Structure 1
Amino acid sequence: MKKFSISRREFVKSSTLVAASLPLNSAFASLMNGHTSPIAQGPVNLNWLDGTIPSLSAGATWGVPWPKGQLKKNAGFTAETPSGSKIPLQSWPLAYWPDGSLKWTGHALGAETGKAKNLRLLPGKPSVPATPLRVTESADFIDINTGIISCRVEKKGNTVISSLSREGKETATKGRLVLLCQDKTEPGDDGTIRTEQFIGEISSVVVEQKGNVRSVVKLEGRHTNTQGTGWLSFIIRLYFYAGAESVRIMHTIIYDGDENKNFIKGIGLRFSVPLQEELHNRHVRFVGEGNGVFAEGVRGLSGLRHGPGREASLAQVDGKKAVITGDGIDDLQYIPAFGDYTLFQPNADSFGIRKRTKTGHSWLNSDQGKRASGTAFLGGPSGGVAFGIRNFWQSYPAQLDIRNAATDTGEITMWVWAPDSPVMDLRFYHDGMGQNTYEKQLRGLEVTYEDYEPGFGTPNGVSRTSEMMIWALPSTPSRARLVEIADTVRNPPMIVCEPQYYKNMEIFGGIWDLPDRSTPEKKEIEDKLDWYFDFYKNEIDQRKWYGFWNYGDVMHSYDQDRHVWKYDIGGFAWDNSELSTDLWLWYYFLRTGRPDAFRIAEAMTRHTGEVDVHHTGPFAPLGSRHNVMHWGCSAKQLRISTATNRRYYYYLTADERVGDLMREQVNADKTLLVIQPNRKVRRGKQTEPNPDGAFANIGFGTDWGALAGAWLTEWERSGDQKVRDKLLNSMRTIAAQPHGFFSSGGMMELATGKFTITTGNQVGASHLSAVFGLVEVCAELVKTVDMPEFEKAWLQYCELYNASAEEQSKELGRALGSLNLAQSHSRLTAFAAKRKQDDQLAKRAWNEFKHSKGGITADFTPKTERILGPLVLNPINEARGVSTNSAAQWGLSAIQCLALIGDKI
């Protein structure tokens, strides 16, 4: 094995930032901050997320962080195996430091080179694939050639992919989006329901990325019927990798209809499949749970009373060409050919496979199982298509259809909402119960924790993203090969850095550390961190928190009397990011590197960024507070839609869709002119909406924290000068308030981000201000921006929130009164202790963490108890005293206190 050798000196020499080379008008050039930064000590070690080399590579994309000032913004990168062999690599910037140096970079490997177990990334000239990816664009279409397959993407009309070929042979054609709608949820008096089909109509197409390893094509449009009526907007991204025989498809729908009239019966992507081989040499495959495979021929040759013989039968079963001669050819006409197949997953724990000869004849039940992988195949020995939906059973109801396989042109459909399921019903779950005034609504809030208001519980503008893949194969894959394809669909290969490297780079504020069990006290906390994560991981499955609109979220509060989570009680049901569950999971992954933690956090990011946020309509781009229905709460707030919750996944994966979600939030402040979070509880006269206003009332906690997260992200991604100035102006004018963050909020000029300076002596604090990402955003801002006055104001808030009444009065002129979530705010005290090197503050922080009321105290030992029937429908493991709010905030506080003042425990 060739010894890998590159010195730290060579590494730094190849990557040192020459400040003079930056353009003088750079949006970043004026903000060199004096804080020390880490230095990369050599090549970055890369690992596969699941710890093993993927059996099948379809290409991979990931992000890597870098220290401030080390890499020029145009730096190149190379990837190597441990032996020093170069790996073709494509790289691009994801984010910049204020001085213009690279902060995060995106990288991609092609399919043909993804077999090394350990890779190393370092600055240098990238290696080019032996057969580079090619993208050719004309006025009407885009052609992409991976070196294995060719794909034509249309720029207009209702065909997304007009052709998918391998070695010049068309494998699939006429790829189109299909939407089925019903005019009602159940038959009327006449017993009829009208179903109508809509097809996706393209309105725009753009090549988002064009490279020799990875290219991305983005299509947008709406589904239209034969009369030209359109609704249900879509965004499709097609991902291509050099050497790949597959296309990755990101499928997003945005609900822009009337939930009382537009009932969805099916959402899918359909392809036509040319079929030329004899019916007995056409093969159908479905992958069930694990490595189980359903395998049949369209015209079966086995089990016959008189057939072509065992050799032909076994060839068909194995997916090979069955040769039939003599009288056997004439007898084939008496063997029925089954042209239609369906795999239907109606819930998380059961699926069924059925088949029929053709339309107009009965279905036969073929087999059944529990949790299908969501992958299938149609074709024969000369080629075919494999296709699948990720998170198939988790996002039920889902369905895979094969139709007309006994004709010259078969048809496959990947249904992300299965037409065999009941119609999608997004109407609000109650009639308002007479809550027609703010007074009644506030009283209802006291009873069920539900913030109800007529017209606000609408799904208008919410979205859902699904992942699919389609493979052009040269022949019917072996069962083992098809299982490998299914594994790739289930969990696409993902590359990550080592947790130690993430820690060394102090990413996301650097307020976390690796697990440390060096003392009994630390071990106890580490064990509890693992326990809470494992509990929720198991609870997701035990409570079946699955489904198209639900997968990725968890429940808010538990009902001990019924032994169930409060799924049907107002604001106690779905969590919707309440108290930063997303951030807890991401920090837990960063410090442990556990693949199961990544997958759960990934699913939550997908869900909370799509389903819990309005992307179009009057409430866009705000999110909805926790509720029985994800969009049901009338509290439309930035604290839910905050870009801060998406940053982790975006920078670790370079995912374009999540990048869109964060960019939506840049101008979210304008929405607060119309949708005011505190409109119901404002003292005195209600403030009328003013969509043309120049100033908006912005709280310094959940409102500004969310805006700051969006502005910071956009600034570091794009270098936008206006966004940068709004962020910095807002920081300066918060610091300039008489009591900084304790001035609570103020009128912000939308054009500049400047807050009006308060002239009175207003002092206040909310227990919620800092628990929706403000801590994490401010940690990044203090690290990124050299603004001493802002850091001083933030440290004042951190130090005084949990301080004694006497200390608060001395500093602010009066005490803050009885505040909640003292344990959650222990991490603020810890931050102040670390920055000020104050041992007394550190001691106070640990006392707050261990003994504060309203949290999980040190003497609480979480444990589960087995509950059996007849007390419950199904046996469960129940944990008394556990709630999601407490678990998330305790988890974040534990992680951050250990990182900041672990040496003072």
Structure 2
Amino acid sequence: MSELSRRNLLMGTAIVGAAGALGLPGKSASAASDPGQVGQARWLEGTAPAATPGVTWGMPWPRGHLPADRDLAVSTADGTQIPAQTWVTGWWPDGSVKWTAHAISTPHPTATTYQVTPGTPLAPATPLSVTTGHDTIDVDTGVIRVRLATHGNALVRSITRDGRQIARDGTLVCHRADNPDSPSRRESFTSTIDTVRVEQTGPVRAVVRFEGSHRADHGHRTWLPFVVRLYLYAGSDGVRLVHTFTFDGDHDRDFIAGLGIRFHVPLTDEPHNRHVRLAGAGDGVLSEAVQGITGLRRDPGAPVRAAQVAGQPTPDVSTWATTVSGRLQWIPEWDQYTLRQLTADGFQIRKRTGDGQGWVNVHGGGRATGLGYVGGPSGGLALGMKDFWQLHPTQLDIRGAAGPEASLTLWLWSPDTTPMDLRSYHDGMGQDTYHKQLDALEITYEDHEPGYDTPYGIARTSELVFWALRATPTAERFAALAAATSTPPQLVAPPAHLHAAGVFGDWAPVDRTTPAKAHIEDHLDFLVDFHRGQVDQHGWYGFWDYGDVMHTYDNDRHTWRYDIGGYAWDNSELSTDIWLWYQYLRTGRADVYRFAEAMTRHTGEVDVYHLGRYKGLGTRHGVQHWGDSAKQLRISTAANRRFYYFLTADERVGELMHALVDTDRTFLEVDPIRKIRTGPYTPDPHALDMGFGTDWGALAAAWLTEWERGGDPSALRRLRSTMRTIGAQTNGFVQGSALYDLDTGEFAVASPPAVSVSHLSAVFGLVEMCAELTELIDEPAFTREWLRYCRYYNATEAEQITEFGVSFGNLNLRQAHARLTARAAASTGDPALAARAWREFHEGGAGYGPTVSWRTTTVSPPLVLAPVDETDFVSTNASAQYGLAAIQCLALVGDQLR
């Protein structure tokens, strides 16, 4: 039985049992329909990659189609089978498989598409093996053998290939400074392992997870907890490393002055047969020997020079011209190299012969792809990083290249730049009461509160690859490795397959069959392209910033309001992440995927707390990602992460969503509306004031995802009980909020009922979650009340009064809520509601209406630092909600667009 069935059959059986016991809709997995459906996958960037350490991707299946005990095989479009490993990542309520993940190690050299079909999977010629010893874990890919440690400092004890040790002691390193503004004392730290867990054991893919912290080299302090995963694939000499650290220092005293990973590389070749490779911009490669024998006053011979330049072993020294061979001792040996990318637009390479000697500048350029190599014809190690220049300040160091052992260090935070400064950007300006804080909010839109502007508990994830190479690679091969490191090849299911599987709610592939639809599609393309372009024009790069976008533009200064309170970093406000992912789902565009991917990595780590008082909460938009005092579930919501997880099976994003399952308990710690309450309130675990929109919607996303992934009965219980008791409210969602019991997972039915409707309730993933929940869980009262909310949010005052006794007041975001009207129309088949939805959409209330120009103008220096394209109408809030409204209206009532 394959891993698919062996590992997941019991899980699937548990879900089927839960479905029967809880009355979930659907049929049993044994009644699954046509088993011959084919899952489609293609390369995201369109062409087969020249190199990859291995690939993993997600594949959706229609409800009731794939039973838990069905084996799956992967092949090219012409039927050539590829060794693959498959496992389940998501389930339908009937116990059938919703999502599978697939791993292949050696793609077909020319195939651009693959298919997944029922069948016996092909095993690798040499299956990957994992052997656990007393204090080590050995992973053998058939090409390299990686020995991992279960305790101590070095995560990677050794890497061997063909019986030769390529590298050893892969260790995390860190420097701490006392002061970022002037020279100060530096402390060094190295990793110490707390726990190691093997998460997958092959036959194609192995995953090993390390957890630990950084311990002082001199002293007893430990800080900066980390989670590192290593991914190894059968037949591959590359290893993917996903590195996450969490900041747990004092932001006024602890300044990271260097953060990275270091390997030691034994060197046995002669200095003139040792090679250094550094990847510059594009396909650029610096190719040098530690002891160069080209360009000398005397010529060793053309074959000698050609071999060294190519990275091949030179002919024996005895065959050289004696005018060179007799004077080798006078040729310098370059012991140290550094490539540092301190800004997004500039890298520098320099080298020197040893400690205490002067540096020689080698070259500089714009944006380095970020891969370094040291070794020789007997083998060597390459180490690089995804988004190297985007996540500056980064650095690659080679030291000891002239000695018996070199070190190769990749710095996630360069030690050559200013130490990381996470202090608050202002001193509070006297905002020591809620009255003052709310008054300041009226002018800068920043919600400040002392003690809340802390980075304690934020995190950052980086993706690295190291390659244990048999010999120095050619320049072409090295450039291919750099490209695969910088932009990892990714297989994806195309839009038509994703849509046919019925995943992710209300969306449909691009449809330009009518002028009206094409007109909206043009606008959707315009908005994505504009915001992507703004990232580069305004330099939204850097370790803590890359992946986010800005909130609001300042047309007077011709820049985004990067320095004005709550108008600065977006931090997922009004579902930017969700908009981008839906636009990717329907277009399949690689550039949109990479945009959304970077945002997922950022917003799930930097904008969310993973330790401390605010664990599980995210931070509202602001000048610093963690600076605003609004700590809320609407930012940390799993609704923003689900796409990336199911499309890639990424374990880190999976554990981020798992960590949110019990965040209903955060309401005991932080009251989201503490500043505007009119009466006394003490959090009571049996009567927590919780909103149905941004609060419950975020919890529902976490519970739904947890249930889909593993059938967690607690998550399902809380989903059903809250849905049932929302449906039991006299006014349903229009009630706005109710008292929640942590133990029972139920809302108390409000008496007397109230009407409390906010324009923000539905725009942080609630619409998207309800679209899925109402299809997956049979709670008729909940569905009825959700559709009632959808119908009446944008209804006339008279209609609201007739239905609820009072009007909802002067609500905002009418264009955004047109998609709710469309949902009501689609569910009821009411053409009048469909026409109303399109009218609301085109009128553009609080969004983009009929007077919008849909054009940009270019502003040039000296009015700005560099040319920028700007509009007189774009804001990120409006773009995200226009995008979601357009996408969902097209999917729900597109056939009635005139």
- 1:364 equivalenced with 2:360 (yes/no): yes
1:797 aligned residue: 789
Per-residue deviation, 1:72: 1.7
Structure 2 distance, partners of 1:19, 1:896, is 36
2:823 aligned residue: 831
Is the alpha carbon distance of 1:24 and 1:216 closer, same or farther for their aligned partners in structure 2, counting shifts above 3 Å? Answer: closer
Where do residues 728-807 of structure 1 align in structure 2 (5 Å cutoff)? 728-807=720-799
Residues 11 and 711, structure 2, Cα contact 8 Å, conserved in 1: no
Q: Which residue identity is paired with 1:397?
A: P
Where do residues 170-569 of structure 1 align in structure 2 (5 Å cutoff)? 170-187=165-182, 192-225=183-216, 226-323=218-315, 324-325=317-318, 327=322, 328-509=324-505, 511-569=506-564
Structure 1 distance, partners of 2:241, 2:406, is 21
Structure 2 distance, partners of 1:497, 1:244, is 24
Residues 844 and 850, structure 2, Cα contact 8 Å, conserved in 1: no
Per mean C-alpha deviation after superposition, the further-off stretch among 619-628 and 60-69 is: 60-69
Structure 2 distance, partners of 1:750, 1:760, is 22
Structure 2 distance, partners of 1:503, 1:545, is 33
1:4 aligned residue: none
2:862 to 870, 876, 879: 870
Per-residue deviation, 1:35: 11
Residues 654-677 of structure 1: CA deviation (Å, up to 9, x unaligned): 000000110111001101111111
Unaligned runs of 5+ in 1: 1-13
Aligned residues: 882
Is the alpha carbon distance of 1:657 and 1:21 closer, same or farther for their aligned partners in structure 2, counting shifts above 3 Å? Answer: closer
Is the alpha carbon distance of 1:744 and 1:299 closer, same or farther for their aligned partners in structure 2, counting shifts above 3 Å? Answer: same
1:660 to 652, 655, 678: 655
Per-residue deviation, 1:446: 0.7
- 1:154 equivalenced with 2:146 (yes/no): no
- 1:611 equivalenced with 2:606 (yes/no): yes
Structure 2 distance, partners of 1:486, 1:479, is 10
Per-residue deviation, 1:768: 0.1
Per-residue deviation, 1:59: 1.1
Per-residue deviation, 1:20: 15
Structure 1 distance, partners of 2:587, 2:33, is 21
Is the alpha carbon distance of 1:587 and 1:412 closer, same or farther for their aligned partners in structure 2, counting shifts above 3 Å? Answer: same
Q: Which residue identity is paired with 1:638?
A: L
| Aligned partner of residue 848 in structure 2, secondary structure | coil
| Aligned partner of residue 467 in structure 1, secondary structure | strand
Q: Which residue identity is paired with 1:222?
A: S
Residues 27 and 64, structure 2, Cα contact 8 Å, conserved in 1: no
Structure 2 distance, partners of 1:343, 1:900, is 52
Where do residues 6-45 of structure 1 align in structure 2 (5 Å cutoff)? 22=13, 26-30=17-21, 31-33=23-25, 42-45=37-40
Structure 2 distance, partners of 1:153, 1:26, is 40
Q: Which residue identity is paired with 2:798?
A: E
| Aligned partner of residue 644 in structure 2, secondary structure | helix
| Aligned partner of residue 517 in structure 1, secondary structure | coil
Per-residue deviation, 1:707: 0.2
| Aligned partner of residue 20 in structure 2, secondary structure | coil
Is the alpha carbon distance of 1:623 and 1:563 closer, same or farther for their aligned partners in structure 2, counting shifts above 3 Å? Answer: same
| Aligned partner of residue 224 in structure 1, secondary structure | strand
| Aligned partner of residue 26 in structure 1, secondary structure | helix
Q: Which residue identity is paired with 1:442?
A: L
Residues 29 and 98, structure 1, Cα contact 8 Å, conserved in 2: no
1:105 aligned residue: 100
Is the alpha carbon distance of 1:411 and 1:112 closer, same or farther for their aligned partners in structure 2, counting shifts above 3 Å? Answer: same
Per-residue deviation, 1:311: 2.8
2:117 aligned residue: 122
| Aligned partner of residue 487 in structure 1, secondary structure | helix
Residues 240 and 246, structure 1, Cα contact 8 Å, conserved in 2: yes
Q: Which residue identity is paired with 1:336?
A: P
Structure 1 distance, partners of 2:180, 2:749, is 54
Per mean C-alpha deviation after superposition, the further-off stretch among 30-39 and 856-865 is: 30-39
Structure 2 distance, partners of 1:471, 1:112, is 17
Per-residue deviation, 1:784: 0.8
1:7 aligned residue: none
1:887 to 876, 879, 886: 879
Residues 583-635 of structure 1: CA deviation (Å, up to 9, x unaligned): 11000000000011111100000000000000000001100000000001100
Structure 2 distance, partners of 1:250, 1:27, is 35
Per-residue deviation, 1:860: 1.4
Q: Which residue identity is paired with 2:269?
A: E
Per-residue deviation, 1:329: 3.1
Q: Which residue identity is paired with 1:80?
A: S
1:620 aligned residue: 615
| Aligned partner of residue 504 in structure 2, secondary structure | helix
Structure 1 distance, partners of 2:146, 2:687, is 50
Q: Which residue identity is paired with 2:99?
A: W
Is the alpha carbon distance of 1:233 and 1:799 closer, same or farther for their aligned partners in structure 2, counting shifts above 3 Å? Answer: same
Per-residue deviation, 1:700: 0.2
Per mean C-alpha deviation after superposition, the further-off stretch among 732-741 and 513-522 is: 513-522
Residues 862 and 882, structure 1, Cα contact 8 Å, conserved in 2: no
Residues 275 and 410, structure 1, Cα contact 8 Å, conserved in 2: yes
Residues 110 and 213, structure 1, Cα contact 8 Å, conserved in 2: yes
Residues 421-451 of structure 1: CA deviation (Å, up to 9, x unaligned): 1110000000000000000000111110000
Q: Which residue identity is paired with 2:705?
A: T
1:650 to 645, 650, 653: 645
Residues 670 and 696, structure 1, Cα contact 8 Å, conserved in 2: no
Residues 211 and 227, structure 2, Cα contact 8 Å, conserved in 1: yes
Is the alpha carbon distance of 1:38 and 1:806 closer, same or farther for their aligned partners in structure 2, counting shifts above 3 Å? Answer: farther
Is the alpha carbon distance of 1:41 and 1:804 closer, same or farther for their aligned partners in structure 2, counting shifts above 3 Å? Answer: farther
Where do residues 134-145 of structure 1 align in structure 2 (5 Å cutoff)? 134-145=129-140
Residues 830 and 901, structure 1, Cα contact 8 Å, conserved in 2: yes
Structure 2 distance, partners of 1:647, 1:75, is 25
Structure 2 distance, partners of 1:821, 1:39, is 44
- 1:903 equivalenced with 2:898 (yes/no): no
Residues 198-248 of structure 1: CA deviation (Å, up to 9, x unaligned): 001000000011120001000000000132210000000000011110110
Per-residue deviation, 1:21: 9.8
Residues 38 and 505, structure 1, Cα contact 8 Å, conserved in 2: no
| Aligned partner of residue 801 in structure 2, secondary structure | helix
| Aligned partner of residue 229 in structure 2, secondary structure | strand
Residues 860-903 of structure 1: CA deviation (Å, up to 9, x unaligned): 12211111122111121112211000001000000100110001
Residues 135-190 of structure 1: CA deviation (Å, up to 9, x unaligned): 00122010000111110010000010010111111101011000011011133xxx
| Aligned partner of residue 19 in structure 2, secondary structure | coil
1:10 aligned residue: none
| TM, length-normalised to structure 1 | 0.95
Unaligned runs of 5+ in 2: none
Structure 2 distance, partners of 1:491, 1:563, is 32
Q: Which residue identity is paired with 1:205?
A: V
- 1:669 equivalenced with 2:661 (yes/no): no
Q: Which residue identity is paired with 2:398?
A: I
